[in-house]
Amino acid sequence: MTTTSPQTSRRFSHTEWGTARRKAVMILSATMLVEILLQLIPAIQSLLLSSAATEESQLNRWVYIMLLAGIMQIGLLIYMLLFVDWVTLWAATLGNLLFIAAYAGLFAILILSKGQNEIISYLQLDLEQSPAGKQAMWCMVCMFILIAQSFFAGRYARRWKRDK
């Protein structure tokens, strides 16, 4: 008895990309990892301060949301490393665009509301010692970092698709 393996079409067959493509994805992945770590600095700092406190204190909601966003971005990073293709670069770009929208919305709320808003109260950003202007500038810095990452990843993905 002979066994036959199912034939896959060329469209869905596994493709090995060259070292130049893999190197570009590795560079984009490294920059994405650096950007994730930079975004998580305030959350990790707050986490470390609360763990070193002598009295029992509860973390603010924004810390949990930032850690969740960091985990989601790390998931996108792992996806981009596991499946090296232009489509995964587009997925990472679109994922970054969602985080850019969140940072832009929070930036606008912090600037326009002068620190008093329901969303700011829900995230417990009004309980922080840093002023609302400093929080807004942090949102702007994270937004610019994500915009730069998305621009280069999207541009390279478009060039990759065109050359394919």
Distance of alpha carbon 59 from alpha carbon 47, whole angstroms: 7
The per-residue pLDDT for 110 is 84
User: Is 8 or 163 the better-scoring residue by pLDDT?
Assistant: 163
Of 72, 128, 59, residue with least CA distance to 102: 72
Residue with tokens 């807004």: 136
The per-residue pLDDT for 8 is 45
pLDDT tens digit string along 12-42? Answer: 455 567 788 888 889 999 999 999 999 999 8
Distance of alpha carbon 137 from alpha carbon 84, whole angstroms: 34
pLDDT tens digit string along 115-148? Answer: 677 877 777 777 667 777 788 888 899 999 999 9
Quick one: tokens of 132?
A: 């609302």
pTM given for the model: 0.79
